[in-house]
Each structure stands twice: as C-alpha cells, then as structure tokens.
Structure 1
Amino acid sequence: MKHVCDYLPKAMLGLFLSISLVLGGCAHTGSNLLGETGTAPDPRLTQSADAKFFSTSGLTACAGAAGVGILACAVASPNDKVKCMVVAGIAACGVAMGANYYYDYRRSKYSDTAQRLQMMNDEVKADTEKVAVRTATLQQVISDDKERIAGIQKSIQSKTLDKAKAQQEIASVDSNLVQMRKDLDGMRTKVTEYQKTAQLERTNGGGKQVTEIDGEIAKMNTKVASLQKEVDGLYSQRSAITLG
C-alpha cells in the first residue's frame, strides 16, 4: 500500500485531531448541524435515512466518521496501525476517502484484477442509486421551498407581506441551500475519486472492464449534474427576492 504509506505521515496529525473532535462531541453531523445562516436546515435534509450518504470525504473526515473503528486502531501495533486506519476509513466513506487510498486498499484485498474491478463497478452502481435516493429527498425540499418563495413574491406584489415571517422563510431556504450544496460537493467528490481510481486501473492494465466502469461513473455524473441544475434553479428563484 505504497500510496497510503506516502500520504499518512502528512495526514496523521489531522487524523488524531479529528478523533479528538469526535470524542469531544464536536462532530458536525446530524440534526444539530446549522447552516451558515444560523437557521437549521429542513429535517428531511439532516435526519432522513439518506442524510449521511455524501456527508463525508477525505482522510480526516472519514476517520471521524469511522468512529470506534479508528479509535481501535490507536492501540494496534505500529506496523498494523496504518492499514487499520485506512480500512476503517474506507469502510466509512468508500472512494471518498481518496482515490489513492481506495485503489491501494482494493489492490491489497483483491489481487485478481477482474474481481477487483467488478467490486468497484458494483460500488459505483450502489453510489449512483444513493444519488437517486438523495435526489428524491432534495427534490421534495426544493419543491416546498419554491412554493414558499412564490408565496413571498405574491405577497410582495399584493403589498401584504409580513416581513418578519418572510425573513424567517428566506433564512430557512438559505440554510437548505447550504446543506444541498454540501451534498452536491460530496457527490462530486465521489465522481472525481472514482474517475481517478479508474485511471489508476487503466494505467495498470485494467482493460475493457475499466471502460465499463467509466460508463457507470458517467451515469452517476449525469445524475449529479441534473441535481445541480435543480439546486441552481432554487438559488436563482431565491436570489430574485429582495426584502429591503
């Protein structure tokens, strides 16, 4: 696992800082997460079964998400500690841990190229399905937020606006947009890291199976791009509101 060994020393401090934050109750996940507006996002965005699908990426965040798995690694022997941490992080985040970690771990676990690539193909498909499920949740919130904005616009035109209430509604929409963008960032991270991993496999003789994986990654990317347009549409509608 050469790449893992190369990268871990630089990330080790951040890794243990992350563990400290988790132990201190400072992990920014779940229903206590506030948007940058100071208003909590819609519970459907933070408390639904799909809320954590794309909430973490990178070594430090995945280490925190792994929780007990990472803490157990702290007492492992020095020779096993690196591998233990990577395995726990991969289990928590998959490819979002980072292409190099993901690639090296898969190679160490599946020496047979065909088997390894089939596993990756299956994981891309599973994440594409997660994008679809998460998209359905976001679409519900987007639809409701658009209705709220339309109601505010109508009140402005009829000069019956309750400004205080409208400000609360807009703050809620803004908070939802912050959360949606975080989800999109997580989705794009997975697409990018899958693309990087596919390139690593291609460089090392993956052949036709990598081409098949490319097709699955493209499907995932298309779904993410489609969701991005819907979120952008909500943002444009919200940006048209000026309460003065």
Structure 2
Amino acid sequence: MVTFKALRTAAVAGLMVVLAGCQSSGSSSSGGVDPRLANNQDVEFFNKSGWQACAGGAALGALACAVSNSSNKAVCMAAAAVAGCGVGIGANAYLDNQRKKYASKELQLDAAIKDVENENARIQNATNVAKSVIASDKQTLASIEKEMAAKTAKKEVVQKQIKGVDANIAYLRNTITDMKKHEKQWQDVSASMDKTGSDTKNLDSKIALMHDKIGSLQGELDSLYTQRTALKVG
C-alpha cells in the first residue's frame, strides 16, 4: 500500500520540476529569444528548460506508478523516468531500464539504436530551425552595419535588435552544450554495451552521425558569432 508520505513526496517533486521548467521557458522568451527557437519542441528538448519539462513529465509518470496497482512500483517509476527523458536521465539509468525492459542484449542494442536515430532526427530538425534563425540574424547584422555606415541607424532600434541576436546566440550555445552531453551519454551507453559483448558498430555509426550533426550546427553558430563580434555598436 502506498503511504500518504510517498504520494506527497512524489507530487511535490513533480510540481517543483514542472514549475522550474515553466520558469526557465518564460525567462528565455522574455530575454528576446526568437520564438522559432523558444517554441520548437526539438530545440527545447536539448535545452535546460526542455530537460526540466522532460523531468517534470517523468516525475508525474512516477506519481502515476505510485498510485497504480503495479506489482513492482520501483521498476515502474524507473521506466517512467527513462520514458520521459531517454538517455538524458543518464547512461546508467538508461541502461538499467533497458535491461529490465528487454530480455536479450540484441533487443537492448536495437532499442538503443532506435533511440539514437530518434535523437538524430530531433537534432536535424533543430538544426533546420536554427539555420533559419541564424540566417535572419545575419541579415539583421548586415542591415545594422549598412545603417551605421550611412549614419542612419537609430540607437534604440539597433540595441533591441542586437539584444535579440545575442539572446539567440546564448540560447543556441546552451542547446549545443546539452546536445554534446547527450552525445557523451550515448558514447557511455555504447561503451558499456561493448563491454558486455554486444556488437556496437551500428550504434557507434549513429552516434558518429550525431557528432557530425552537432558539429554542423556549431559551425553555423560560430559563423554568426564571428559576424556579431565584428560589429562594433557604440
């Protein structure tokens, strides 16, 4: 039987994480981040606010397990956490859940490959959105440069535009940092599976593709940052 204390703890934990996610998302939007970034689920998935929302969903899933008739509530809660966050919850937790969920190493490996493919699809979509925003920001910076050269730039307008570009750069930088954390966690998953005798060549190739996709996005952001730092606004 589930105690009131256990229910209260799970409920409070879930609420705190969800509220934290809402606060983070709100602060990003108010800071001038382009809505194409702030409102995109795949971009947010790899951002701090996305992680908090993911953890919040996992906490609520764990609460559902606590009040369910599941014969093994601990296993149910672990599965809910991984279902909500995937490898983002940590390589060890991910692997523990996969071992409980799948009877053979082959099935565990197949599931991991599919999960990496899903994250690669997210990264590709996030990159497409980011490229669109970066292209817009580059045009904005080019226009500001022309207006400054012609001495027709309005200080308040320019400052607002620059603030938006800087907010996008910071948001994307944080997103890429979290993408790289996911890549590292997948590398840890692969290394662990390799130690147990699994053939991880296919999994490693998917992780290598993830590395390339992240590198491509990093290159796009670096190009924007170079253009931004070259612009001297008085």
TM-score class, shorter-chain normalisation, is 0.7 to 0.9
Picking from 62, 70, 85, the partner of 1:93 is 85
**Partners of 1:16 and 1:238 in 2: how far apart?**
45
Letter of the 2:144 counterpart: I
Deviation for aligned residue 1:242: 2.4
Deviation for aligned residue 1:97: 0.9
**Partners of 2:32 and 2:58 in 1: how far apart?**
25
Residue 206 of structure 2 is aligned to residue 228 of structure 1: no
**Partners of 1:50 and 1:43 in 2: how far apart?**
13
Gaps of 5+ in 2: 1-9
State whether residues 56 and 96 of structure 1, in contact with CA within 8 Å, keep that contact through their aligned partners in structure 2. no
Deviations 1:123-167 (A, max 9, x none): 111211111111000000000000001111111111111111000
**Partners of 2:17 and 2:208 in 1: how far apart?**
35
Which residue in 2 is equivalent to 1:178? 170
Deviation for aligned residue 1:32: 2.4
Deviations 1:150-186 (A, max 9, x none): 1111111111111110000011111111221222122
**Partners of 2:181 and 2:39 in 1: how far apart?**
22
Which residue in 2 is equivalent to 1:34? 28
Letter of the 2:201 counterpart: T
**Partners of 1:223 and 1:185 in 2: how far apart?**
13
- Per the alignment, do residues 32 and 230 of structure 1 end up closer, same or farther by CA in structure 2, a change over 3 Å counting? same
- Per the alignment, do residues 58 and 183 of structure 1 end up closer, same or farther by CA in structure 2, a change over 3 Å counting? closer
**Partners of 1:106 and 1:220 in 2: how far apart?**
21
Indicate the RMSD between aligned Cα atoms, in angstroms. Answer: 2.9
Letter of the 1:155 counterpart: E
Deviations 1:39-98 (A, max 9, x none): 231111121343433235999774324252133245469x94543332122111111110
Question: Matched residue of 2:45: which SS?
Answer: coil
Residue 144 of structure 2 is aligned to residue 149 of structure 1: no
**Identical columns (%):** 34
Q: Residues 33-182 of structure 1: matches in 2 within 5 Å?
A: 33-34=27-28, 39-55=31-47, 62-75=54-67, 80-182=72-174
- Per the alignment, do residues 131 and 95 of structure 1 end up closer, same or farther by CA in structure 2, a change over 3 Å counting? same
**Partners of 2:47 and 2:85 in 1: how far apart?**
9
**Partners of 1:240 and 1:163 in 2: how far apart?**
18
Residue 191 of structure 2 is aligned to residue 212 of structure 1: no
TM-score, normalised to structure 1, is 0.81
Letter of the 1:170 counterpart: I
**Partners of 2:172 and 2:164 in 1: how far apart?**
12
**Partners of 1:66 and 1:40 in 2: how far apart?**
29
Picking from 14, 30, 34, the partner of 1:19 is 14
Figure out how many residues of one structure are paired with residues of the other and give that number.
Answer: 226
Question: Matched residue of 2:166: which SS?
Answer: helix
TM-score, normalised to structure 2, is 0.84
